[in-house]
Structure 1
Amino acid sequence: MKSFYAGLTILALALPASAHDLGFAGLLSSNNKEELDELTLSVGQPIADGPLMLKSGTAYEIEIVSDGTGELALEGAGFFRAIWINEIVINGLEIRPLGVDSVEFDDAGTMEIEFIAIKPGRYELRQPGSTGDGQRVEIVIQ
């Protein structure tokens, strides 16, 4: 009987890989994610060229790059609560958070955020304490 359960365990562990090999894909598979233009954090430079237009129910991946010219952050609690974050990757380390209010770079580096847009509306990410339009990016979820 133990070998029967051991066989079932091996089969259960093998199914996700087998299903993926057969072309079955979930919402977060690489085939279903849209890559957004990267956001750039640099002292005195705009974060983005224009607003980000997203669709509710769609998976996205975005890179946030800091050039290290200053200790820079992005805050946007409203936006982070309107999405479901699958993971944040920093230096190859994956973080799976329950929630985020802001992200901050002390040095140069890249952060990748993989998420699903959920709640339609207008949001923004901005550098804390800044007032210039270039230090914010508008995000619209349709």
Structure 2
Amino acid sequence: MRSIAFLMCFLSLMLAHPALAEDDDDDAAPPAGLLAGPNKSELPEVILSVGEPLGGPWALKSGHYYEVKITADGSGEIGLSGADFFRAIWVDEVVIKGLEVRPMGLHSIEFDRAGTMEIGFVAVKPGHYSLAIPGSSGAEQRLEITID
């Protein structure tokens, strides 16, 4: 009971503090944080198609939030692997047909047929990485990524 009374007293003091009052100024700074609008960027869509280039390169900033759509055209069973890259990012969500998955991490992704997924992530660990189509050896079958 004491902890609830203390919490209510603490909250009322915090809300009454003038520094915490709402600012009606139109020039107020935008919201801060990893998921705030100014910190989000949309990357170019990655198209997975047998024998076609992946695109890129990507130049990412550590601490910045990114969203990327990955679309397979159905020309074959195709995927992307890049364990080092997936360990260098924090995956916020993977969206497939409106279903949101919030995994602890990824190792690779694969499409058995045509479809699109969207991945939202925060770049964390600076370095040079790549995503590649497993079993391919061509330079265009690789998406080069740099996190600064």
TM-score by length of 1: 0.81
Give the Cα–Cα distance (whole angstroms) in 1 for the partners of residues 49 and 37 of structure 2. 29
Match of 1:131 in 2: 137
SS in 1 for 2:84: helix
Identity of aligned residues (%): 58
* Offset of residue 25 of structure 1: 4.8
Structure 2 unmatched runs, 5+: 9-21, 23-27
Q: Which residue of 1 aligns with 2:46?
A: 39
Structure 1 runs of 4+ aligned residues shifted over 6 Å read none
Q: Which SS does the other structure have where 1:94 is aligned? A: strand
Distance, in Å, in 2 between the alignment partners of 1:61 and 1:29 is 13
Aligned-pair CA distance for 1:29: 3.1
Between Structure 1 and Structure 2, how many residues are aligned?
125
Task: Tell me the residue number matched to 2:126.
Answer: 120
Higher Rg of the two aligned structures: 2
Pairing 1:68-87 to 2, within 5 Å after superposition: 68-87=74-93
Give the aligned partner of residue 91 of structure 1. 97
* Two-structure CA RMSD over aligned residues (Å): 2.1
Unpaired segments of 5 or more residues in structure 1?
Answer: 9-18
1:26 aligns with 2:33: yes
Residue identity matched to 1:40:
I
